[in-house]
Chain A
């Protein structure tokens, strides 16, 4: 399996998905070799200290007790999921500053900083990952190649060509989700090439499947929808944390602050909510290329004092923020799946999700809005905050509903698709 994110080194849903999927496969007794690029030290925007993986040891020590059948291999690379070219350049700058020696392979630092040809080097990075993955593959024994999103597609295609094994590509998001209509042609080409070469394409929702068929012209017959699962949350909230009688309600945005996630719609709705009720705080948890812009927008709207930015959260901080929240809102412009709302429901937080998301296909007990319909988003936010029975009903039904979304089912479906590719070959 080829991926580039794995908890705790994640920046979005992809790492969570790979974790859930491999863990379920592990339980099913499917042997997985997971090839990861080594993560950069931290995102420049986050206030949370990241563990430095340093070596494979870090990952294996964390995962050792959890996984019996999954092995992790890492490749030194500054690759980050969801990164725009801009962000990548930032990352490289950071990297270059900190680990100058380690990145000797990357030729001219000034080239990235000037940004004249960054995409070419992003491409080189992907190719380098592919080359090393191919080398690793020679040492490994496997039946199927499973590649997660575009950065691993060249690697997947190369390994498939070398080994003659079937390739399954898993599309967690497309360039259209990340960049709207301003697609990066290079990434689009890689995505399309990967899907064309693959024996099977797994889409995380019908929403994504439609994009794959319509925008990438992939034969629908080989594109299958496999929904993500959600980690079954068995924890009981620690009693000291809950039911703190607070006067202010908390509305939560949790996700990368990028165009794709619709932060400006969240803020515009917040402004409207605050025009009719005062005892609300809006929390934006996450980082991303629009974070500074989002802070500016909040200030321009005159609601800066009501909006808190926490930066990127992990682990226990995520749990704490969910426990504080009265409502979770995901106004995504284009969301292939969206695991976070399921996690929110798992933490007993009712959710408002955009209809332009894959998760709205599987979640009935959620409030649904068009991301652009700021009035309606605000209307629903107010309703949840004003009418407690709404939240109670959403929570109880939603919590029940997500119990049916199991990673085991996701893994089983993937395994079935593997078998199909093996028979076809």
Chain B
């Protein structure tokens, strides 16, 4: 009977340019690097994987389903650098077999430092997804599956979510199975979906590992493992980075063939089916309560925050960043606020991790810096400049008020009313505005065909 629930995390950070103590530009991001990485990953992963899943969905006539969480910073980059990827997501959306989840727009750790900021970012993400794909997300996942009881309570209090997702870490389950639906402690309505990390990691991490006794992993074998859950679970949640397909596991590992064969194998057994997270929530009731007083995540073996906040540099950088919140928001300057938010992406802190630096392992692969120290220096230099910009707009404001200008007041009012102001919506450059209007898609579909 087990349902299989796929959810893919799709995210690319905005990497910073090399920024020294002597730089003073307000252009913090390395457009060239971000564009080339975005296009590279689009070609190796997003486009082939989207096409493959679309093919599977069509082949099984609605019996194969998946969910995505697309971060706002990724969507912005796709629109700028690889708009054809968005059109393939449009095609996936149109099948009705794809669900989009909500998260913080900037892939941030804001829940840990500012609840107000957290809620603003989640709302910004919901609006963006709805605007782009016409779906209002009903299931929430926090950055890096960071989670505790407080988060669940906060998310429930937002009254727009049916469920929340986190890691099925052993120590929170104490011998219970992650393959059921649970209720977060302190919540009445919200349901909890837990990642089956063992089966998820078989695909995401071990798939191409030749020293793994189970290598090579076939769709038949994996189906057998999923079927073993029968009788002791309702749903197998397979949550992983989308970049698993073609980027972390290269095409020559056979990962795409595996995905191509998996639905067929799983659906051979009439007891099995695919469900999206929302369908899982509707199908099953919680079997118990899960109490998570301390913060967990899906990272490393520790399943804690040490990858982002494990050393004094990381802690200092993030505290300095959130310390600026009041000042930044006071400026009312959208560019400044957007820059500040882009600096919140968890990746910036991940690059500063010294945990496994000496071994040069997995952390290294995703890191654009030579060392965690370089990353911290760069970040702090940028933050220093951002801070210096907070002073100037105040002066400008004062002069504006003197001139009787009311533009800033209007945008403040809009925010208070909860009207979402899209980043750069007021930009004079129409091509640069985000989100782009629907005409864009017609144009990019052509691009897609040419691809």
Contacts and interface: CB of A to CB of B under 8 A. Distances in A.
Given A365-B357, A368-B371, A389-B312, A272 B377 contact: no
B380 A383 contact: yes
Given A365-B357, A383-B381, A389 B373 contact: no
A394 interface: yes
Contacts of B146: none
Contacts of A364: 357-358, 371
Interface string A378-398: 111011001111101110010
Contacts, number: 66
B379 to A, nearest CB: 10
A375 interface: yes
Contacts of B354: 365, 393, 397
Contact of A390 (B315, B357, B376): B376
A272 B381 CA distance: 16
Contact of B21 (A276, A365, A367, A368): A276
B311 interface: yes
A14 B377 CA distance: 34
Contact of B316 (A368, A375, A389): A389
Interface string B363-401: 000000011111011001100000000000000000000
Q: Which of B22, B315, B317, B381 has the most CB of A within 10 A?
A: B22
B420 to A, nearest CB: 35
Interface in A386-425: 386-390, 392-394, 397, 401
A390 B373 contact: yes
A387 B380 contact: yes
B253 interface: no
B17 to A, nearest CB: 13
B20 A394 contact: no
Contacts of B371: 364, 367-368
A376 interface: yes
Interface SS majority for chain B? helix
B313 interface: yes
Could you say which interface size class chain A belongs to?
A: 20 to 34
A394 B315 CA distance: 15
A393 B313 contact: yes
A276 B317 CA distance: 21
A375 B23 CA distance: 11
Given A389-B312, A390-B376, A378 B21 contact: yes
B20 A401 contact: no
Contact of A368 (B311, B370, B376): B370
Contact of B373 (A272, A376, A378, A394): A394
Interface string B7-24: 000000000000011100
Contacts of B311: 389, 393
A392 B358 CA distance: 17
Interface in A329-375: 364-365, 367-368, 375
Nearest to A382: B21
Interface string A153-173: 000000000000000000000
A375 B312 CA distance: 26
A157 B238 CA distance: 68
B22 A378 contact: yes
Given A379-B381, A383-B381, A389-B315, A272 B358 contact: no
Given A276-B21, A375-B22, A393-B311, A387 B373 contact: no
A388 B315 CA distance: 12
Contacts of B380: 383, 386-387, 390
A227 to B, nearest CB: 15
Nearest to B370: A368
Interface residues of B, number: 21
Contact of B313 (A272, A375, A390): A390
Nearest to A275: B22
Contacts of A276: 21-22
Contacts of B313: 387, 389-390, 393
Contacts of A393: 311-313, 354, 372-373, 376
B22 A387 contact: no
Contact of B377 (A387, A392, A397, A401): A387
Interface in B9-67: 20-22
Contacts of B381: 379, 383
A379 B373 contact: no
A379 B312 contact: no
A335 B313 CA distance: 29
A272 B316 CA distance: 26
Nearest to B359: A364
Contacts of B20: 375-376, 378-379
A382 B22 CA distance: 10
A379 B317 CA distance: 17
A354 to B, nearest CB: 14
Given A387-B377, A389-B315, A379 B370 contact: no
Interface of B: 20-22, 311-313, 315-317, 354, 357-358, 370-374, 376-377, 380-381
Given A276-B22, A387-B316, A401-B358, 9 more contacts: A272-B22, A364-B357, A376-B20, A378-B20, A379-B20, A386-B380, A389-B311, A393-B376, A394-B373
15 contacts: A272-B22, A365-B358, A368-B371, A376-B20, A380-B377, A386-B21, A387-B313, A387-B377, A389-B316, A389-B317, A390-B376, A393-B312, A393-B313, A393-B373, A397-B354
